[in-house]
């Protein structure tokens, strides 16, 4: 067990919450030239998602997400941030960071008093609670082959 300070390796992608996934894909395609790199699909967390990248074969830089379950975390997040200027609560939902040592990073974050959510179904991922990160939902991802 290393006592070295853990740091993220790189920014993997950003999830952007939208009211209409098709409109979100169109916007990011027109403005930034991004292309869908995966089909629109149901995610187990109660939302539809579509990754957009530089080419059809690149990793997604931006993932456009639309809640399709009104009780999902994403739907609640959007409801909480809705206001007259942003009636649907759209915007950046999650930032995904790649880490080399998930266990070490989780220990480090928890040692600072922050909440980290882990699921048995996703051993390569962990999520830092938004209330502990200035209301930004941060996902940690460990690549296969990491320690």
Domains delineated in the chain: 13-99 (3.10.180.10), 101-135 (no CATH)
Low-confidence stretches of the chain (pLDDT beneath 70): 1-3, 144-147
Q: Note the pLDDT of residue 44.
A: 87
pLDDT of residue 19: 97
DSSP assignment of 73-99 equals HHHHHHHHH-BTTBTT--EEEEEEEEE
Nearest to 24 by CA among 72, 70, 78, 76: 78
β partners of residue 86: 83
pLDDT of residue 145: 64
């Amino acid at each position: 067990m290393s006592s070295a300070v853990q740091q993220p390796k790189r920014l993997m992608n950003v999830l952007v919450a939208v009211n209409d996934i098709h409109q979100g894909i169109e916007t990011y395609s027109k403005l930034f030239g991004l292309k869908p790199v995966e089909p629109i699909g149901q995610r187990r967390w109660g939302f539809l998602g579509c990754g957009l990248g530089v080419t059809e074969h690149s990793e997604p830089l931006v993932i456009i997400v639309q809640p399709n379950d009104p009780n999902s975390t994403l739907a609640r997040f959007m409801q909480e941030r809705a206001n007259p200027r942003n009636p649907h609560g759209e915007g950046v939902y999650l930032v995904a960071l790649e880490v080399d040592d998930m266990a070490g990073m989780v220990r480090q974050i928890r040692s600072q008093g922050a909440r980290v959510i882990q699921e048995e179904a996703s051993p390569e991922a962990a999520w830092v609670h938004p209330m502990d990160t200035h209301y930004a939902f941060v996902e940690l991802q460990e690549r296969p082959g990491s320690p």
